[in-house]
Amino acid sequence: MQLRKGQILEFDIGALAFGGAGIGKHEGLTIFVEKTMPGDRIKASLTKIKNNFCEADLVEIVKPAEDRVKPRCQYFGICGGCQLQFMPYEKQLEVKKQQVIDAFERIGKISNPPVEDILGSEDSYYYRNKMEFSFGYDKDMNFAFGMHMPERRFDILDLKECHLQSEFSSRLVNFVRDFAIKKNWKPAKVLTAEGLLKAMYLRESRRTNEVMINMVTSEYLPENFEKDFEEFAEEILKVPSDDKKIASIYWSKVINRGGVPKQIKEKLFYGKPALTEIMRLANGDELTFDILPQAFFQVNTLQAEVLYSQTLKYGLLNNHKMVFDLFCGTGTIGLFFAKHVEQVLGIELNEQAVQAARENARKNKIFNIDFFTGDVSKVLDTVREQPSLIVIDPPRAGLTEKMIKKINDFGANEIVYVSCNPATLARDAAWLKEYGYEVQAIQPVDMFPHTFHIECVCYFKR
């Protein structure tokens, strides 16, 4: 049968690909369709035709899967933030575990990989501690404040509620929209120098209930802006907040001119400079962190505790004196390990993250950890210490063969690899196997319910 673009086919969805697309078969050909789930019978219009697969747009759900549910959010399918809300949470976990198994079998060439049951999030809604809300215009050029719409670079979805952060954050979004319209503050346009408002970042502590507001603007300020912003700070403190407390209000001005490096100038208008968060692991360890406006911090605090608990569990199966923490970020994992080993060495490219890591160590009175700034691969060339355990938490792209060879040269008996991408983790597992590192256990952790993202903690041993 000769296929053509626009052709409508009817078939069943049997699985879910990593990335969220449903996978169906038609006359032996694999077809990927967004917004579908296993068990759906659908009609779809072909959009891309390749030799061994096709992509298609959903036209109609002929017969929904028995366990398909109505999405909770009114913006589902428009916003693009929660791709799997039509799937019961238990089903999401089942599918994500299978995706990890598939990645290790298909990419890592490891048969029957030791994948544990995925650790689900206690809160499947209202779990994020950080959100970015953007200012702009909708498709009709009306003022809009909310989320960027998928595959539409400039259009903003005017959002009245979101189930990812707290209900308090939705009240803040609606207050900010009303205040900006009242003051005639215009959104900044991407392609020109016109306009003021760029974004608002909201951070919330899950343990202390503190809230940080960071309003981001261009450098082109209307008359009396700072006076109006003082009024803004006074008024937003009156928004009803249940158990939340606004602890900080920042104004960040972005200076972005051609030929000049971008600058961000922050001004604290109200409260304290940093948000305080407390993390508690399953073994009883507890650390306190001060989070500045630009700092990285895991956006699901309670599941980060689960992730780090599992990392520590695998890493402390045996005694270790020296531990390497590669791609250490703000030092969170390394600081927890430092409570149990003689010395930790952390390496991170981002200089601001390393500064935060050192401050976190000082705040928690941990002195047996050193942090180094620079490209991890290059810094390892200068290190003479010999670790018995290496902890790795790389970007989504994972490692390189060259990096894995360098890691092998240190001769560590154990590796704990924290990954946000099962595909690159499985690929790296195959490379590590060539150096004698065998996968002992794989623990998936669901950090982002209703999305396709999956975190894993993988334990390797020689």
DSSP assignment of 233-284 equals HHHHTTS--TT-EEEEEEEEEEE--TTS--EEEEEEEEE-SSEEEEEE-TTS
What CA–CA distance (Å, rounded) separates 145 from 430? 45
- The half-sphere exposure of 224 on its side-chain side, counting CA atoms within 13 A, is 6
Beta carbons of 217 and 197 less than 8 angstroms apart: yes
3-state DSSP assignment of residue 457? strand
Residues 6+ apart with CB under 8 A from 262: 254, 255, 256
Q: Is beta strand 369-373 parallel, antiparallel or unpaired with respect to 343-348? A: parallel
Q: Is 73 a catalytic residue?
A: no
What's the distance, CA 55 to chain centroid? Answer: 26
Whole-angstrom distance, CA of residue 208 vs CA of residue 44: 48
Provide the token pair at 362. 């000082």
The amino acid that residue 453 corresponds to is H
Q: How far is CA 317 from CA 249, 282, 324, 440, in A?
A: 44, 15, 16, 12
CA distances (Å), origin 447, targets 32, 75, 228, 347: 25, 21, 39, 24
Spatial distance between the Cα atoms of 307 and 205, rounded to a whole number of angstroms: 18
Give me the catalytic one of 79, 162, 420, 456: 420
Are 337 and 370 in contact by the 8 Å Cβ rule? The answer is no
Distance CA(179)–CA(172), nearest Å, equals 10
Question: Mind telling me the catalytic residues?
Answer: 420
